[in-house]
Amino acid sequence: MIKLTYIVCVYNSATTIVRTLESIYRQPLSEEEFEVIVVDDCSPDNSSELVSSFAVGHTNLQLVRQKQNHRVGTSMNLGIRMAKGEYIQVVDGDDVVGDCIVDTLNQCLKDEVDASVNTSQYEAADGSLHPMPVPTDMKFPMSATDFCEKVLTDAPIFGGTQFYMWRREFLIETNHPFVEDLKMEDTDWIEYHLFKAKTIGCSRHMTYTYLYNENSQLHLMSVTTTADAILQSYRRLEGCKLYKSTLPHFVSVISYAAHCRVAASLRYRNLSKFWGNDFLVLYNRIGDNVRKELSQYSYPWLAQLFLRHKYITLCFLWNTVWTVHVGRFIVRSIRKICKH
């Protein structure tokens, strides 16, 4: 019987994937008790070759290579469809599974929870480890309502999908896949499944180490990152319509975070990093339905302008950015002249 399925999402992970797989196979489970599904999202590096080499001698490891890049949501949807384990643990291709993950699995099997919060930590660029906040004074397992209202409102620990262990049958029953072809696919997905869960557990054992990479595509400023952040916020606001009657405090946290994300994404200092056709790409990517929904909220004047009229906004932003750029050039030139 397969107790646990690891879904390992890989993209340009050649420098880290072997360490990730070694951490998985270090766990005290026989290979008949777990499986590893590695989904390579069309990496241009040799990630797949390294996984193939590692798979020699491990019959429970499957490698799937995407023909085109569709981002993490597609990889996780595929992995969930292929999974056979009672529980699912998502793993990023540059992270490390903790030595106590089997204890977490056994607790999940014992309590039969739909989801369990992993005790996790993140590894900074300098190698230092920093624990992620988890509730220590709560009695688990608990109902999803209590978890969302009493725990997440005081210490939001949504994190990523990898910071939870999920019951496979529960994910199949909810039938709510990740959004595909976009960044930031998981926060609204997590919120929805926490809302739908009957019981939620919490691991007291160090289960997962997340490698924080400030140069990852998610953290780098780009037109697609900004657009996808807005789209995720819109999905979170849509989810609030489902939760508001039973989870009022939970909704207040989500709504506040979503509004802040949209406002931050549309600030001038962020948009000024985009040039030319990027403005049009950003506008078109977020879609008409999102613009209409967001326009009813109170945002900074720039956001309101951006949401109301595409061409006025694009011309205004372009002229503003160009003026600032030229102004900075003139100031620098004057300073150089004055020095001489």
pLDDT digits (tens, 9 = 90+) for 173-226: 999 999 998 888 888 999 999 999 999 998 888 889 988 766 566 666 677 888
Going by pLDDT thresholds of 50, 70 and 90, the confidence category of residue 120 is: confident
Are residues 189 and 289 located together in one domain of the fold?
no
> Could you tell me whether strands 115-123 and 142-143 are parallel, antiparallel, or unpaired per DSSP bridges?
unpaired
Give me the pLDDT at residue 298, please: 46
Going from the C-alpha of 21 to that of each of 31, 92, 191, the distances in angstroms are: 13, 10, 28
Among 167, 182, 211, the domain boundary falls at 211
The pair of structure tokens assigned to 209 is 């180490």
Can you give the residue range of the structural domain that contains 24?
4-211
Whether 336 is in a domain gets the answer no
Are residues 80 and 228 located together in one domain of the fold?
no
DSSP 136: S
DSSP 28: S
Among 164, 181, 211, the domain boundary falls at 211
- Residue 145 belongs to domain with CATH number: 3.90.550.10
What average pLDDT is seen over the chain?
A: 82
Give me the pLDDT at residue 338, please: 61
Provide the domain count of the chain.
2
Are residues 167 and 288 located together in one domain of the fold?
no
Q: How far is residue 145's CA from residue 101's CA, in Å, rounded to a whole number? A: 25
pLDDT digits (tens, 9 = 90+) for 221-269: 677 888 888 888 888 888 988 998 888 888 888 888 887 787 777 665 5
Evaluate whether 119 touches 18 at the Cβ level (below 8 Å). Answer: no
End-to-end CA distance of the chain: 79
Q: Where are the alpha helices (DSSP H) in 125-271?
A: 144-146, 168-174, 187-196, 223-243, 248-265, 268-271
Q: How far is residue 63's CA from residue 43's CA, in Å, rounded to a whole number? A: 13
Are residues 192 and 116 located together in one domain of the fold?
yes
Residue 32 neighbours by CB under 8 Å, 6+ apart? 1, 2, 60
pLDDT digits (tens, 9 = 90+) for 144-168: 888 888 776 665 555 688 989 999 9
